[in-house]
Structure 1
Amino acid sequence: MSALGMLPGLAQAQARLNLTLEADANRGRPLLLWARKTDGGTAVDFDTMTFRQGRSSLHLDLEKAAEPTFAAIYTLFSFPVDSVRSRLVTVSGWVRTRNFAGQAGLYSYAHTPDNDDGKDRRDQLENLPPNQDWRRLEVTLAVKPTATAFGLGVRVYGSGQVWFDDLEVRINGRLYQDKPLAGTEALLLTAQERQTPTWSFEQLPPAAARPDPARVTLRLDSLLPRQGRRSLRLTAAPPERPGELVPVVYLGTLPIAQLRGKMLKVSGYWRQLVPAGVGAPVSPVFTYARLGTAGRGGTESQWTYGVVELPPPPRPGAEWAAFSLDIPVAADEFAADLSLGLRLPGPAIVLLDDFTFSLNGRPYVPAPPPAPAAPTTAEVAWLRRALVPVPVLAPAVGTAVKTPDLAALGPLISNVRVVGLGEVTHGSGSIFEMKHRLVRYLVEQEGFKGFVLESSADCEPLNQYLQTGQGDPARLVGSLGPFGTQEVLDLLRYLRAHNQRPGVAKVQFAGMDMQAPENVLAFLQQAARPDDAFLQTRLRELAAALAQIPRSGGGPAIDLFQTPHQPDDARLQTLLRLTRELRTGLDTRFKLVRNPDWTMRQQARFLFELRRLEQGATFRRLPLRQGGDYRDACMAENVVWLSQNLGLNGTPAKLAVWAHNAHVATSAQGQRPLGEWLRDSFGPLYLSLGFAFGQGSYAAEGGRTFHSVAAQPAPTGSYEAWFQATKLPAFVLDMRQLEINDANAWLFQQQQFRDIGIQEAAQNFASHELRREFDAVLFLRESKAAQHLK
């Protein structure tokens, strides 16, 4: 079999790469053939008001300067690799910035099996000025003859706004024409259209996938069907230019999930008529393309794996003749669909009819994936018996009123030291209010003394507000990014009121994240006495070293898994050396000075923040695939320290840890979340409480502001569909001691579950297994958007 490259296609039926980055490409899905990797604080859209030429540009709005973020938008297996093998490929494009601090640029890469890491790559990443008008970038890659895939992309790390426009690819100096790509028809169809092909050809393929009538016409032929009432008649016109190939014509799609690890045999009947005035007929060629979709939390991406020609069966004649095609499907195939097509190399009239299929010799009838079943009466009855209803009440603001309404949660929370309070999105005001009530219950009824937030902002001023009442709480809460909401402000005001009550142990507040080491350094500088020459000198040296690891990442990320001792990373080495020297010097000073300026608690806090500085600087030097795991491990390390040091008289403190579901979970696919580390540290003394909601709205960040977004309805087959079937406004389900039975088997399986970050999600749901990820889940039927303070 041979892969085809650069086959001409038809605009209305096939997708383009969209190198000119136009918003209306591919029927309004401009990044259809591109993938993306973004941190939570990056918004990706198309700007129809700012562009170099055309009608739009690709716009990336990165998170605020305190927390730099990463984004990469790239083609994967979409580019026709046959056209670039053994050639010099130059990728160019234009970039523009506003209020930007960091690096941005282009890169190209070729997957090659004879490389140690599987690919050759060239980058042009530059520290761009904060406000750069359109500027051209260029990168050149020599592609090996063994390349199996070629791709290109744009990449940004930092903060601010970046635009890209007008990408070009030149192959040995010749401009690549961004033509429609053969085999991509199914990507432009709806799921319903893809899943209902008519292999008996009693009706035409979907209109959106039909070719240009001027080149290939399709119609139903009722005069000469092989069986039934109709067959499919394809008529191809002669090529417009010598040597030009007539495109692949889409026939239908099969779901690959049912084919993996098997030999697919396609059988059917065909006949070929010779158009008048044409000599020897050309042989039609059957093809297939493997099409895939992937993504999580709204980062949808789709791509094609290239068109493959099948060995041709015997050329048909004027009468119906049977044919068969064999297509092996790998067991580890990760594409979603297999799209069948027919290429007509020249003028021809071909009729097709009566396609049938077999897998490993057994008959197979293609069918769409079975529709998820609605919850049964028995399943809903079991769930109502197992859950604990929770009243839906708004928390009283700024008072010390007790919360007996949550007393039913006592058996779940008693004998626990650390509770992970999750959230399905950072923007649900209803979840924030319920977490407010839970924190109050933990403080008043269970003796919790620490409140820890998934934030890398400077949380010490807020903690000082809780202890002393000093500071403007609204301004301080407003600095917490996605947590800068009225709901969080109400909680902090309550905790301040609690701390003012006589005879109570005061609640402490801290952030556990480490992505903003500048905030940590500011705390260290404030904690040191201005006349302490030793500390101030070392802190100035640390500030200079941190400035060499800027928010742009300071160059390509270092793979610290392969080189954990950082031998090639002089910038990071310098900072780590300085922190080690400062830690050693402080340890010596504490042992020599009889009456130190700091208490033991202050000393421990200073060393803890010094460790957070190391964490944040190291995090910035990691590639994206390692950064998430490293961050969760560091947050867990910080939670353990806070548990040991926020209590009184050396007693461990009970902590409420407020973070996204993805962090508090004790299990996750392909990574080790914060909750898994905490389970290792605390065992059953750690409780992972996930949150969910059924319908309503949430707040999403866009353009540095937050706006209300309608949540997608819970689809049949999602966990939320079962939860909504109870018709209860709120409840908690303890999953720790459950044993599987017919009525709760759905809870022991992977299902769709709402999973949204800080931005609006194109797809609200992703595959999860709740019982493995959480000890319990708290469900709210309705969600309202959080009220952001700015």
Structure 2
Amino acid sequence: MATDIQDTTHAVDAAAVMKLLPVRPRVLALGEPTHGEDMLLDLRNDLFRQLVEEEGYRTIALESDCLMGLLVDDYVTSGTGTLDEAMAHGISHDWGTSAANRDLVRWMRAHNEGRPASEHVRFVGFDGPLEITHAASPRQALTALHAYLAAHVDADLLPCTAATVDRLIGDDARWTNPAVMMDATQSVGQSADAKELRLHAHDLVALLDEQTPHLITATSREDWDRARLYGRTATGLLRYHFWMADTSAARMTRLLGARDQMMAHNLFAVAQRGPALVYAHNSHLQREKSTMRMWDLPLVEWWSAGALMSAHLGEQYAFLAMALGTIRHQGVDTPPPDTLEGLLYALPEDRNLIDARQLATTLADSRPAPRVSPWFGYASLDPSHLPGIDGLVYVKDVLQS
């Protein structure tokens, strides 16, 4: 069996990835099964550089706050600010402290230096401005959208004034209250102010769409595209806050689904720019339904951003999942030999790119059982997902940086 599996393996590089795919996808998604390991991010960086230099890719999109990411993009494209500022304020979840993420941003700035804008590589955060415990106030996104429209369209067309937006939002702290995750009744998301604000947000987005020909001419496609981001973010956050206030059994399903829908909407915008590498947790990129068990709640299922992208883009969306052998510094030791990770651990190379569908055919009825992860931070790969994966990146041993 080990010999048969080895027949499905390739080097982990851009050329090998492209040979696995029927077409060059506009969105190439690389998943990770755990967060915070620079060794995996170094692999991502290497692959992105190859995709840029050999395949014409121009964008990388990370599981990070979409509004914060604008600071990084401004830095890598025009040198605005400093590298330290970009890392401290442009990447969420405290991942700006990662040496590998810093290396990525530094390389992107160096690559763009002296090149025309058409050849620039771009940075995108495609997650919403939210954490698992709370979401941001809609103020930044909604006021920026309103200001853009107010500067370039007739005031009579605006559905509300900036003062109305400010009054309805009120104190930002009532939106970001961390107690809301465990007590929905403390959420402002279904208040009269929030419902009125949600209507205004949708009307502002509709006005932005209606005025597209004028706005692109009066400003630029880049400014208009950024306004669209503000609109997506404002409406997405207000929808997320609405479900934060929900007290039904569907609450967590709706929250997780709303977050991944925000991710998908941002990725659709990325896909319009040209081919992009997307990097996030496997659960946000896989084609099958994602699942999560939180606290003492029942298992939650929802459709990921990747599943949504795949449904809309077909072959223009490709998914490379990642699986690991060991993360010994986190207590994840050699995988049992009867698991998928255990079978792959017998391969001689430290890293492999595996034709997942060919592997599924090779395993046939002897498909191994899922690995039970000894550490909550590592999500093992479900072998039943192999037919829905375009390629599997296997890293034998993850070493601490």
How far has the Cα of 1:726 moved from its partner?
A: 1.0
Specify which of 371, 388, 391 is matched with residue 752 of structure 1: 371
How far has the Cα of 1:423 moved from its partner?
A: 0.6
Give, in whole Å, the separation in 2 of the partners of 1:431 and 1:762.
Answer: 14
Instruction: Provide the residue aligned with 1:635 in structure 2.
Output: 263
Query: Secondary structure at the residue paired with 1:512?
Result: strand
Give, in whole Å, the separation in 2 of the partners of 1:520 and 1:410.
Answer: 40
How far has the Cα of 1:618 moved from its partner?
A: 1.3
Give, in whole Å, the separation in 1 of the partners of 2:115 and 2:381.
Answer: 48
* TM-score normalised over the length of structure 1: 0.42
Specify which of 389, 398, 405 is matched with residue 11 of structure 2: 389
> Does residue 1:411 correspond to 2:29, yes or no?
no
Query: Secondary structure at the residue paired with 2:123?
Result: strand
Q: Write the mapping of 1:255-270 to structure 2, written as runs, cut at 5 A.
A: none
Q: Write the mapping of 1:333-732 to structure 2, written as runs, cut at 5 A.
A: 379-390=1-12, 406-412=14-20, 415-456=24-65, 458-479=68-89, 480=91, 481-484=93-96, 485-502=98-115, 505-516=119-130, 518=136, 521-522=139-140, 525=143, 528=147, 532=151, 538-547=161-170, 550-552=175-177, 553=180, 556=184, 569-586=191-208, 596=218, 598-622=219-243, 623-644=251-272, 647=273, 653-668=274-289, 670-697=301-328, 709-732=330-353
String of CA shifts for 1:130-178, please: whole Å, max 9, x gaps.
Answer: xxxxxxxxxxxxxxxxxxxxxxxxxxxxxxxxxxxxxxxxxxxxxxxxx
Q: 1:740 to 1:587 in 2, by over 3 A?
A: closer
After the TM superposition, which of the residue ranges 420-429 and 668-677 deviates more from structure 2?
668-677
Q: 1:547 to 1:773 in 2, by over 3 A?
A: farther
How far has the Cα of 1:606 moved from its partner?
A: 0.5
How far has the Cα of 1:501 moved from its partner?
A: 4.9
Larger radius of gyration: 1
How far has the Cα of 1:682 moved from its partner?
A: 1.1
Q: Residue type matched to 2:220 in 1? A: T
Give, in whole Å, the separation in 2 of the partners of 1:422 and 1:763.
Answer: 12
Q: Residue type matched to 1:612 in 2? A: T
Is 1:551–1:620's contact at 8 Å kept on the other side of the alignment?
A: no
Higher RCO (Cα < 8 Å, 6 or more apart): 2
Give, in whole Å, the separation in 2 of the partners of 1:624 and 1:442.
Answer: 37
After the TM superposition, which of the residue ranges 406-415 and 438-447 deviates more from structure 2?
406-415
Q: Which structure has more helix as a fraction of its residues?
A: 2
Query: Secondary structure at the residue paired with 2:371?
Result: strand
Q: How many residues align?
A: 362
How far has the Cα of 1:576 moved from its partner?
A: 1.3
String of CA shifts for 1:370-403, please: whole Å, max 9, x gaps.
Answer: xxxxxxxxx100111111134xxxxxxxxxxxxx
Is 1:389–1:728's contact at 8 Å kept on the other side of the alignment?
A: no
Is 2:29–2:320's contact at 8 Å kept on the other side of the alignment?
A: yes
Give, in whole Å, the separation in 2 of the partners of 1:690 and 1:458.
Answer: 26
String of CA shifts for 1:175-206, please: whole Å, max 9, x gaps.
Answer: xxxxxxxxxxxxxxxxxxxxxxxxxxxxxxxx
Is 1:753–1:766's contact at 8 Å kept on the other side of the alignment?
A: no
Q: 1:580 to 1:387 in 2, by over 3 A?
A: same
How far has the Cα of 1:739 moved from its partner?
A: 6.4
Q: Which structure has more strand as a fraction of its residues?
A: 1
Q: Residue type matched to 2:140 in 1? A: A
Q: Residue type matched to 1:423 in 2? A: E
Gaps of 5+ in 2: 244-250, 292-300
Q: 1:571 to 1:679 in 2, by over 3 A?
A: same
* TM-score normalised over the length of structure 2: 0.78
Q: 1:406 to 1:520 in 2, by over 3 A?
A: same
Give, in whole Å, the separation in 1 of the partners of 2:201 and 2:378.
Answer: 43
Is 2:354–2:392's contact at 8 Å kept on the other side of the alignment?
A: yes
How far has the Cα of 1:437 moved from its partner?
A: 0.7
Query: Secondary structure at the residue paired with 2:60?
Result: strand
Query: Secondary structure at the residue paired with 1:693?
Result: strand
How far has the Cα of 1:659 moved from its partner?
A: 0.5
Q: 1:725 to 1:770 in 2, by over 3 A?
A: farther
Give, in whole Å, the separation in 2 of the partners of 1:667 and 1:569.
Answer: 35
Q: Residue type matched to 1:691 in 2? A: M
Is 1:735–1:776's contact at 8 Å kept on the other side of the alignment?
A: yes
Q: Residue type matched to 1:776 in 2? A: G
How far has the Cα of 1:767 moved from its partner?
A: 5.0
Identity, % of aligned positions:
20
Q: Residue type matched to 1:771 in 2? A: L
Give, in whole Å, the separation in 2 of the partners of 1:715 and 1:749.
Answer: 10
Taking only aligned residues, the RMSD between alpha carbons, in angstroms, comes to 3.5
String of CA shifts for 1:687-710, please: whole Å, max 9, x gaps.
Answer: 11111221235xxxxxxxxxx634
How far has the Cα of 1:599 moved from its partner?
A: 1.6
Instruction: Provide the residue aligned with 1:149 in structure 2.
Output: none
Gaps of 5+ in 1: 1-378, 391-404, 559-565, 648-652, 698-707
Q: 1:581 to 1:417 in 2, by over 3 A?
A: closer
Give, in whole Å, the separation in 1 of the partners of 2:330 and 2:11.
Answer: 27
Give, in whole Å, the separation in 1 of the partners of 2:55 and 2:120.
Answer: 14
Query: Secondary structure at the residue paired with 1:419?
Result: strand
Q: 1:507 to 1:540 in 2, by over 3 A?
A: farther
Is 1:426–1:483's contact at 8 Å kept on the other side of the alignment?
A: no
Q: Residue type matched to 2:261 in 1? A: A
Q: Write the mapping of 1:82-97 to structure 2, written as runs, cut at 5 A.
A: none
Is 2:141–2:234's contact at 8 Å kept on the other side of the alignment?
A: no
